[in-house]
Structure 1
Amino acid sequence: MSTTLFVNLPVKDLDRSKTFFGELGFPFFGATDDMASVVISEQTQVMLLTEPTFASYARTEVADPTKSTQVILVLGLDNPVQVDELVDKALAAGATAVGEPVNVAGRYQRGFADLDGHHWAALCLATPEG
């Protein structure tokens, strides 16, 4: 069975968020006045929803990502160069660095907060010898 994952994120300014993710090199699949779908891979899309639209789907109060962390969105990449390229693009587009780079036991990871404060990480795992 093949399953597609749609992650929904509330954003304050949809146009600003679309510009940000476009600058990271991600394509979009459709958009309306209150939402846009960022294509991460064939099986994963991040739905950017204006805060009022997101709230209409949520069953509880929408968290402020600048004050608490509910999820860390991790993008798995093929090599450390891709990790650096993606995070450097994010920082150049207005993101904020989160934590220090981690380079331990075959794992290379860097983190950033997007324009709305959502925590992201770019990660490369070395294939275990086997």
Structure 2
Amino acid sequence: MNETAEVSNVIAERLHLATGFLSSERDWVVQRLAALGTRLRSFRDTQIDLEISLKERHGSGQQVTLECWISRTPRMHLVATSTARELAAAVNEVRDDLIRQVDDAKTRTEPRNGHVRRPPQYPADQS
């Protein structure tokens, strides 16, 4: 299986469509969120739970919310919201915001500058 299909499977397997989305829209939503899967691949599939919801579809107060729970120590709960009037734009906006949040969370939990500390190198004795 190629990497793109594996990434999409993570989203498809772990995404729960909550209030406001129809089950017939599932494939469309999974495709829209596929870019998020590349950021989440550093976690085991079982560590990730995703939920997307939509309030007041086509209304002036339409709001899309994407939540991500990552089970690790400590457990992370990331939330992205959008009030964009067009549904596709709103889903893209919450995806991009959650990508940013995942990147920020990874940066905070990784070693400083992403480098492993190495012992100092001493010049050889010239006796």
Q: So what's the TM-score if we normalise by structure 1?
A: 0.25
- Radius of gyration: which is bigger? 2
Higher RCO structure (Cα 8 Å, ≥6 apart): 1
Q: Comparing both structures, which one devotes a greater share of its residues to strand?
A: 1
